[in-house]
Structure 1
């Protein structure tokens, strides 16, 4: 039997933890719970799993979509929005870049300032 376990956070590596955290603060509207030079933790207003950022020396951004020999993403974030166009406009205003490859009509892949892919998605009409 497994002892009780709970995922308390997700950590994204970045060339600058504070800069990437600032992007996600604007994007999600979450607040900083912890703020150190190389480590920042954001928490959602209603509680739950947080999002942290760690400065990594020699950081290499992932390539989306990756090809042979490319740096692959380790994970991506799925972010539900009610209005995909409005969510995409907000993400762009916060500093995200729309990825060139879009795999689905009800999903938009964006890249954060450190190159991590994240998906905005909505329920199909």
Structure 2
């Protein structure tokens, strides 16, 4: 019988935890973790999932799709809005959009302000 595990946290390395937490807070509406600080910030979801952001000295952003600096983690978010609307809002918040878009009609690859690639997928 397989071990029953429930994902409880995801933590991203970054150069500025409060700034990256603010980006994801605006993008997701998750609540800021009350013990966030300059070196480690987080967001809480009602079901207990925690997204953390930890300061790393000499941080190097992933270079997707080029793997000179591997992405190491890939996060996908389902969006209720039309993909074009969701993409526009995320770009306003500071996301980037790589030129390479493998299946732009089904999902969009974006990067957060620290360079981590993530996808938005229509629900």
Instruction: State the TM-score, normalizing by the size of structure 2.
Output: 0.89
Unmatched tracts of structure 1, length 5 or more: none
Aligned residue pairs, count:
120
2:86 paired with 1:87: yes
CA RMSD in angstroms, aligned pairs only: 1.7
Aligned pair partner of 1:71 in 69, 72, 75: 69
User: Equivalent residues in 2 for 1:1-125 (5 A)?
Assistant: 5-33=5-33, 34-44=35-45, 46-67=46-67, 70-82=68-80, 83-104=82-103, 105-123=105-123
- In the TM superposition, what is the alpha-carbon distance from 1:99 to its structure 2 partner? 1.4
Deviations 1:32-90 (A, max 9, x none): 1131221111012x3242210000001000011024xx000111210111310111011
Unmatched tracts of structure 2, length 5 or more: none
Instruction: State the TM-score, normalizing by the size of structure 1.
Output: 0.87
- Cα distance, 1:2–1:120 mapped onto 2, change above 3 Å: closer
- In the TM superposition, what is the alpha-carbon distance from 1:2 to its structure 2 partner? 7.0
